[in-house]
């Protein structure tokens, strides 16, 4: 993807793509409303919701280079798009209320972003639906625009097809071998599979694809991650951001012998920084699990893997091994900072990375899950307070510290430290803690460091520069 935030940029793009399908690829006049009580009210411009919606209505992919300047393409396509903040009447996080009109054709779409680029359309023309972009869906509307019962049609009814957006589709009924850590341990009692093969089993069954396809898809993601790190380490430039290239400064100081730490520590710091800088320069990154935390998991895993001299195949296995805690979090909690604070993003990335690092060091399935538990325990209560509503600072430092947390947690687990609380219980606690955080500390830019005089000065300078 490109863009500062997966829950903003990619989610909005996917919602826009579905709106485009509903309007037969010609959206016409579009009004997007954000609720005044929602985090999107203060962050929809700075974190890419508006940009993503523009790209989606145009039919772009999440990594399309035209996302850097979509406005000329909107004009060429004849799309009249506007945004507003108002009282939508909904009490939902990450809400998009979209009104579409072309001639006599009208559609009202209610959608939510659930984190990491995942979305759900929950209502169309006042009819309840559940569309997540993971499969082909046929909808029928009456001549008056009312949504007919799914799967039914009548004379004069209008048919609309919603096409799948996600890289791997799901099928009804969705079957998976396990959905929690406890289930996985039970599932593996007789099989005794390594962690990365358990991940492959899960994805193969969920997406109805072969294990070889699962491996190849993760290999593709690995190569995007590696390319982003390589690009970032060369130095990035982008006008509309707070921080310049930090990784190049770190590398210079490291070469001078002025920094403490071993190879893995330095690799992690450099790789996380490089990944975050590419993201902030609108380069292509992997939301792993989110864009705001795109440095933690890949930076930690590839940083340690390079220090161990692992080859590409082993790194792909490590990424699969690290994805296991991610699927448990996605099932039982959230990756959205607007719902759970930064513990849902950088914390989740740390839990995933700890599992992968433990696997690379020869850890058993149980030791990998212990490492993940420790990393998540260490992340509880992490707030999201972006300076100037940008996904740059303190996001960069939180990504680096979360990646180093993952390394320490993996070492602790392998050394026999007792994690005490099972991973499933930690994830449940993380969800409960995140939802109890004050609204101002969940990616609204209305609390924490966002309110400091220095942050407000940065915000003013950015606006003046933009004008």
Looking at the predicted structure, is the pLDDT value of residue 180 above 60? Answer: yes
> What is the structure's pLDDT at 412?
98
- Taking a C-beta distance cutoff of 8 angstroms, is the pair 71, 89 a contact? no
Looking at the predicted structure, is the pLDDT value of residue 151 above 60? Answer: no
DSSP string over 230-246: HHHHT----SS-S----
Rounded Cα–Cα distance for residues 441 and 455 (Å): 15
Work out the pLDDT band at 174, boundaries 50, 70, 90: confident
Average pLDDT over residues 11-18: 98
> What is the structure's pLDDT at 150?
64
**For residue 289, is the peptide bond before it cis, meaning its omega torsion is within 30 degrees of 0?**
yes
Provide CB contacts within 8 A for 139, sequence distance 6+.
22, 124, 129, 147, 148, 150, 159, 160, 161, 162
Work out the pLDDT band at 145, boundaries 50, 70, 90: confident
Ranges of H-type helices in 341-452: 346-360, 365-377, 395-414, 423-436
Looking at the predicted structure, is the pLDDT value of residue 252 above 90? Answer: yes
Work out the pLDDT band at 156, boundaries 50, 70, 90: confident
Token pair recorded at residue 344: 């849902």
Among 1.10.287, 2.20.28, 1.10.8, 1.10.4100, name the CATH number for the domain at 181-466. 1.10.4100
> What is the structure's pLDDT at 172?
80
Do 6-162 and 181-466 share a fold? no
Rounded Cα–Cα distance for residues 270 and 249 (Å): 10
What's this model's pTM, rounded to 2 decimal places? 0.96
Looking at the predicted structure, is the pLDDT value of residue 186 above 90? Answer: yes
Work out the pLDDT band at 262, boundaries 50, 70, 90: very high
Domain boundaries of the chain, sorted by first residue: 6-162, 181-466
Looking at the predicted structure, is the pLDDT value of residue 215 above 70? Answer: yes
Provide CB contacts within 8 A for 441, sequence distance 6+.
341, 383, 384, 385, 447, 448
Looking at the predicted structure, is the pLDDT value of residue 211 above 80? Answer: yes
Token pair recorded at residue 157: 């009814």
Render pLDDT for 307-331 as a digit per residue (tens, 0 to 9): 999 999 999 999 999 999 999 999 9
Render pLDDT for 34-66 as a digit per residue (tens, 0 to 9): 999 999 999 999 999 999 999 999 999 999 999
Render pLDDT for 267-277 as a digit per residue (tens, 0 to 9): 999 999 999 99
What's the mean per-residue pLDDT of the chain? 96
Work out the pLDDT band at 241, boundaries 50, 70, 90: very high
> What is the structure's pLDDT at 467?
54
- Taking a C-beta distance cutoff of 8 angstroms, is the pair 140, 148 a contact? yes
Rounded Cα–Cα distance for residues 431 and 334 (Å): 7
Average pLDDT over residues 388-417: 98
Give the angle 399-120-281 at the CA atoms, nearest 5°. Answer: 35
- Closest of 17, 230, 237 to residue 119, by C-alpha: 17
> What is the structure's pLDDT at 390?
95
Render pLDDT for 71-126 as a digit per residue (tens, 0 to 9): 999 999 999 999 999 999 999 999 999 999 999 899 999 999 999 999 999 999 99
Instruction: Return the CATH number of the domain spanning residue range 6-162.
Output: 3.30.1330.90
């Amino acid at each position: 993807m490109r863009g500062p935030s997966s829950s903003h940029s990619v989610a909005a793009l996917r919602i826009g793509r579905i709106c485009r399908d509903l309007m037969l690829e010609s959206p016409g006049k579009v009004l997007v409303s954000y609720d005044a009580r929602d985090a999107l009210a203060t962050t929809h411009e700075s974190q890419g919701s508006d940009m993503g919606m523009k790209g989606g209505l145009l039919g772009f992919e999440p990594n399309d280079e035209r996302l850097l300047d979509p406005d000329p393409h909107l004009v060429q396509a004849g799309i009249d798009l506007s945004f507003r903040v108002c009282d939508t009447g909904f009490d939902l996080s990450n809400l998009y209320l979209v009104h579409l009109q072309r001639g006599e054709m009208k559609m009202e779409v209610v959608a939510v972003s659930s984190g990491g680029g995942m979305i759900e359309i929950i209502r169309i023309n006042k009819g309840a639906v559940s569309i997540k972009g993971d499969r082909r869906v046929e909808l029928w509307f009456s001549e008056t625009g009312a949504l007919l019962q799914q799967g039914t049609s009548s004379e004069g009814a209008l048919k609309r097809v919603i096409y799948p957006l996600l890289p791997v589709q799901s099928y009804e009924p969705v079957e998976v071998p396990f959905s929690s850590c406890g289930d996985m341990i039970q599932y593996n009692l007789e099989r005794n599979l390594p962690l990365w093969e358990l991940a492959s089993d899960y994805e193969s069954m969920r997406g109805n694809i072969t294990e070889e396809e699962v491996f190849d898809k993760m290999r593709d993601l690995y190569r995007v991650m590696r390319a982003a790190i390589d690009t970032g380490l060369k130095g990035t430039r982008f006008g509309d951001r707070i921080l310049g290239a930090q990784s190049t400064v770190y590398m210079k100081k490291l070469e001078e012998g002025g920094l403490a730490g071993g190879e893995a520590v330095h690799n992690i710091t450099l790789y996380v920084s490089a990944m975050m800088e590419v993201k902030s320069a609108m380069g292509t990154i992997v939301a792993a699990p989110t864009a705001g935390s795109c440095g933690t998991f890949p930076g930690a895993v590839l940083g340690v893997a390079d220090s161990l001299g692992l080859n590409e195949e082993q790194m792909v296995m490590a990424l699969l091994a690290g994805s296991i805690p991610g699927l448990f979090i996605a099932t039982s909690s959230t990756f959205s900072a607007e719902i759970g604070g930064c513990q849902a993003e950088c914390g989740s990335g740390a839990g995933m990375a700890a599992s992968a690092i433990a696997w690379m060091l020869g850890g058993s399935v149980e030791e990998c899950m212990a490492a993940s538990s420790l990393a998540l325990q260490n992340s509880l209560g992490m707030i999201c307070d972006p300076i100037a509503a940008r996904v740059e600072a303190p996001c960069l430092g939180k990504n680096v510290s979360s990646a180093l947390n993952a390394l320490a947690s993996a070492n602790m687990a392998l050394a026999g430290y007792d994690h005490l609380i099972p991973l499933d219980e930690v994830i449940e606690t993380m969800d409960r803690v995140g939802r109890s955080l004050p609204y101002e500390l969940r990616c609204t830019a209305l609390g924490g460091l966002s309110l400091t005089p220095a942050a407000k000065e940065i915000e003013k300078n950015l606006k003046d520069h933009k004008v």
